[in-house]
Amino acid sequence: MKFNPLNDLFDLLFPDLCVVCGNNLLKNEQHICAICLHNIPKTNFHLIKDNPIEKRFWGKVPVFRATAFFFFQKGSPFQKVLHSLKYKGNKEIGETLGKYAAVDLLDSPDFESVDVIIPVPLHPQKYKLRGYNQSELIGSGLSVILGKPQDTNSLVRLYENTTQTKKNVYERYENTDGIFKLSDIETLKGKHVLLVDDVLTTGSTLEACLKALLAVDGIRISVFTLAVA
Ligand SMILES: [Zn+2]
C-alpha cells in the first residue's frame, strides 16, 4: 500500500474498535477482536440433532434442522453485536459474522446440503426506513462461505408486526400468523431452504415464515439465527 500520512493520522485519531469490548482492533481484525471472537458463547447446535432450538418448533411447524451461532443474554457484551447490526447501521458486521458462522456450519452435512438461503424479509416500508435488512446481510455472509445463492424475492412480508413488543407471547403468535406470503412457489420446489434471522426470541416470526414456505411441494426447511435468547 502507498504511504499516506493522512490515512495513518486518521487511523490514529479514529481507530476501529471492537464492538464487543471496545478495544482497538488490529489491522487484520474486522469489527470484533480475536479475543472476543474466541469468547463468543457458541451454541454448536448445528452438530446436535434434536437440539433445544429444534425442540422449540416441535408440535408447531416441521423443521429439518435449526441452530444459532451464539447465545445471548440481555446486557451481555455480545448483545452489542446485535445492537450494532440492527440499530447502529453496522452493515458489515452482519456479513462478517455470517461468514464466521458458515465456516462452522460446513462441519455439518445437514447444513452443507442447503440449496438456497432465504432471509426473513422486512416489509418494504421498513426496509426503506432502515436502508437494509439485517437478516439479508447475515445471509450474504453465509452465502459466500456455503457457496449457495440467497433468494430475497420468493418470500414476501405483507405487513410489519410493529406492536409486537407490547403484546404477550400468545398474542404475538396470533399477530404474526399470515404476515408472509410466497411470490412464487415453483422455484423452491423440492429445495432445502435455509431460513435466516438475526435473533431467535419467541420464534413466532420464524414460525410464520415456515408456515408460508411449507406451501411449496417437497420443500425442506432449516433455520439459522445469529443469536438465540
Ligand atoms: Zn473485543
In the reported structure, the alpha carbon of residue 22 is separated from the centroid of ligand 1 by a whole-number distance in angstroms of 6
A 10 A CB-CB count for 113 gives 15
Question: What is the value of pTM for the model shown?
Answer: 0.89
In the chain, list all ranges with CATH 3.40.50. 41-228
In the reported structure, the alpha carbon of residue 206 is separated from the centroid of ligand 1 by a whole-number distance in angstroms of 30
> Given this model, what pLDDT does residue 184 score?
86
In the reported structure, the alpha carbon of residue 142 is separated from the centroid of ligand 1 by a whole-number distance in angstroms of 22
Weakly modelled stretches of the chain, pLDDT under 50: 1, 172-173
> Given this model, what pLDDT does residue 173 score?
47
Q: Which residues does residue 225 pair with via DSSP β-bridges, in sequence order?
A: 68, 197
In the reported structure, the alpha carbon of residue 18 is separated from the centroid of ligand 1 by a whole-number distance in angstroms of 5
Q: Which CATH architecture has domain 41-228?
A: 3-Layer(aba) Sandwich (3.40)
Dmax (CA) of the chain = 62
Contact 42, 69 (CB under 8 A): yes
> Given this model, what pLDDT does residue 160 score?
80
Contact 136, 152 (CB under 8 A): yes
Question: Which residue has 486518521 as its cell numbers?
Answer: 10
